[in-house]
Amino acid sequence: MLVDGKRRIGYLSPSKRGAVHEKRLCEQKQLVANIPPEVSILADSGFQGLRHPGLCLPVKANKWHPELSEEQREWNRLVASIRVGVEHAIGGMKRYAAVSGVYRNRLPGTDDRFNLLAAGLWNYLIST
């Protein structure tokens, strides 16, 4: 899912069966390759290793540097405060029960239609 600064959903990937990591889906769909370099991408720490000039990730502690500096903590707070809008967009879509439930119809692509409808309803809700 790609969300802009105003919590509008700009892209919603097709649903996948099973456990597939978001970073792998992002690389398969080449989402980052289609984003201009002057546009900043704010992602969570699960996207470590993704290549884009405008990629902003939170700083993680590791075994060599178990404590984060105050600047790193402040950066993580800034990233988290911006990412709250993305989480609100995800939660807004999930309010429509069609997104969180499993539709058992055998027609292919029906789940994705419900997801797109929920994303469109969310975008309409925040634009009014």
* Residue 66: per-residue pLDDT: 86
* Residue 41: per-residue pLDDT: 84
Tens of pLDDT, residues 15-67: 766 677 778 878 887 888 888 889 888 888 888 888 889 888 898 888 888 89
> Which tops the pLDDT comparison, 6 or 96?
6
Does residue 41 sit in helix, strand or coil? strand
- State percent of the chain over pLDDT 70: 87
Tens of pLDDT, residues 15-24: 766 677 778 8
DSSP class of 46: G
Mean pLDDT for the chain overall: 82
DSSP class of 15: P
Domain range annotation of the chain? 2-127
> Which spans in the chain are helix H?
22-29, 70-94, 97-100, 110-127
